[in-house]
Amino acid sequence: MTDVAIREQPSFARDLIALTKPRIISLLLVTTVAPMFAAGRPSWMSVLLVLVGGYLMAGGANAVNMYMDRDIDDRMARTRLRPIPGGRIGPLSVLAFGVALATAATALFAWLVNPLSAALALAGFYIYIFVYTRWLKRRSPQNIVIGGAAGAIPPLVGWAAVTGSLDLTAIYLFLIIFYWTPPHFWALALLKQRDYGRAGVPMAPLVWGERETMDQMLWYTIVLIALTILPVALGAFGVVYLASALVLGALLLIGVLRVRSTLEWAAPAWRVYRFSLLYLALLFVAMAVDRRMAGVIGS
Closest residue by Cα to residue 152 from 180, 133, 132: 180
Burial class of residue 299 (count of CB atoms within 10 Å of its CB; 0-12, 13-18, 19+): exposed
For residue range 189-232, list pLDDT tens digits in order. 999 999 999 989 999 999 999 999 999 999 999 999 999 999 99
Please give the Cα distance from 148 to 181 (Å, whole number). Answer: 6
**C-alpha gyration radius of the chain:** 20
pLDDT in tens, 56-104: 999 999 999 999 999 998 888 878 889 999 889 999 999 999 999 999 9
- CB 94, CB 84: distance < 8 Å: yes
Other residues' Cβ atoms within 10 Å of the Cβ of residue 108: 20
Of the chain, the end-to-end C-alpha distance in Å amounts to 60
Cα dihedral value 12, 196, 258, 275, nearest 10: -20
The whole-model pTM stands at: 0.92
Q: What is the pLDDT of residues 110-169, one digit of tens each?
A: 999 999 999 999 999 999 999 999 999 999 999 999 888 999 999 999 999 999 999 999
**Which of the 8 DSSP states describes residue 33?**
H
How does residue 8 score in pLDDT terms, banded at 50, 70 and 90? very low
Contact 217, 186 (CB under 8 A): yes
CB hemisphere CA count around 117 (13 angstroms): 31
185 vs 204: CA distance, rounded Å: 10
